[in-house]
Chains A and B, each alone.
Chain A
Amino acid sequence: MSQADSTLEGPVTGLTIGPAFSIPTKKLAMWLFIIADTMTFAACLVAYGFLRNGSADWPRPFHSITNVAAMTLILLTSSLTMLVGLRAARAGDKAAAFRWTMITAAAGIIFAMLHVREWLGLIGEGMTLFKNPWGTGLFGASFFSITGLHLTHVTGGVIALVVVGVRYKGGRYNADDIEVLGLYWHFVDLVWMFVVPLVYLLNLAH
């Protein structure tokens, strides 16, 4: 190897080989997306808190915690089933990994259905984006925005779970793809941990 080669290859090799933080590119991309999405949800929740704090007649329309408790249980359990699916994928058990991924997707669908049922109940009581029978109209806008954004994430996650699960079963994707998708699904669960107390539990009618 000439001196020119060594001076060229040395630094260039050091710069190009090895992804940032020694994390595979897909996983790093998902983490960066999650960080960005955290900002989106945080901005929505802070704006919600700002409005709630600044409104004298903020409504407290929730009389029961049954529905939101069931939704929380289902979403938390779906995170566990996602982990079991990943564990199966890592062990090379394709059938079990596919099965658990589909169970996770099914839990996501049940969560979404409960969410829609709750929305329809509130709409039936006269709540819209701009007005409600209980107090400031800002409540509807902030409630539907935050829960709608979360529901959109759940819906997207369910679609991704089905697509990735099927492609994994078909051999086009591997366990790494299940892991990357799992990161997203756990993030959706993590966001719900903040939405429940701030949007639901602080607005319980006592």
Chain B
Amino acid sequence: MTTAEERKSNGIGKDLGIYACLLVLAGLQFVIAYQKIGASQMFGRMLTVACVEAGLAALYFMHLWTEKRGFLLFVAIFTIAVLLGLQFGWTDSTRMVVGAPFSK
């Protein structure tokens, strides 16, 4: 494929390094799960770690970093835009708790 030569120059050491980072980050999520913090704070921390993990996996394991910049931007912008678009319902979700009877 188009970027094979670029990848060939990177050794297995880089893959192992990313793998180790992902293991540490995954472990960090388990540590956060046992912290004495609020649910929303825990959610925020875990989601942040998950986003970093996903970014590493997409950029290096899926080789997005070595693709054309235009494609990288296409994937990133399109995906993030739709993910943000999915967040419209949160205020209504909170209203369900406050405004029974829906939560019962």
The reply on A79 being an interface residue by CB < 8 A is yes
- In the docked arrangement, what's the CA distance between A22 and B67, Å? 9
Q: Specify which of B12, B19, B46, B67 is in contact with A201 (CB 8 Å cutoff).
A: B46
Docked-complex contact B57 and A54, CB < 8 angstroms: no
Known A31-B75, A193-B26; judge A50-B82 contact (CB<8 A): no
Report chain A residues within 8 Å CB of B61: 79, 83, 186, 189
Closest to A43 in B: B86
Report chain A residues within 8 Å CB of B86: 42-43, 46
Q: What count of chain B residues pass the 8 Å CB interface test? A: 52
The reply on B65 being an interface residue by CB < 8 A is no
Shortest C-beta distance, A52 to chain B (Å), equals: 8
Mask: chain A, 44-58; 1 = CB below 8 Å from B; 0 = not? 001001110111100
Docked-complex contact B68 and A23, CB < 8 angstroms: yes
Docked-complex contact A53 and B97, CB < 8 angstroms: yes
Closest to A197 in B: B46
Mask: chain B, 71-93; 1 = CB below 8 Å from A; 0 = not? 10011001100110011011011
Shortest C-beta distance, A107 to chain B (Å), equals: 13
Docked-complex contact B30 and A65, CB < 8 angstroms: yes
Q: How large is the interface on A (under 10, 10 to 19, 20 to 34, 35 or more residues)?
A: 35 or more
- In the docked arrangement, what's the CA distance between A35 and B1, Å? 20
The reply on A29 being an interface residue by CB < 8 A is no
The reply on A84 being an interface residue by CB < 8 A is yes
- In the docked arrangement, what's the CA distance between A29 and B43, Å? 33
Report chain B residues within 8 Å CB of A159: none
- In the docked arrangement, what's the CA distance between A73 and B20, Å? 11
The reply on A202 being an interface residue by CB < 8 A is yes
Docked-complex contact A90 and B29, CB < 8 angstroms: no
The reply on A183 being an interface residue by CB < 8 A is yes
Report chain B residues within 8 Å CB of A24: 1-2
Known A56-B97, A193-B54, A197-B33; judge A21-B71 contact (CB<8 A): yes
Known A21-B71, A27-B1, A53-B90; judge A187-B62 contact (CB<8 A): yes
8 A Cβ contacts from A116-131 to B: none
Report chain B residues within 8 Å CB of A42: 82-83, 86
Counting from the closest, the 9 A-B pairs by CB-CB distance are A54-B96, A197-B46, A21-B71, A201-B33, A53-B93, A50-B93, A193-B53, A186-B61, A54-B93
Q: A49-B93, A55-B97, A69-B30 are in contact. List 7 more A-B contacts (CB 8 A).
A: A76-B26, A79-B22, A186-B62, A190-B53, A190-B57, A197-B46, A197-B50
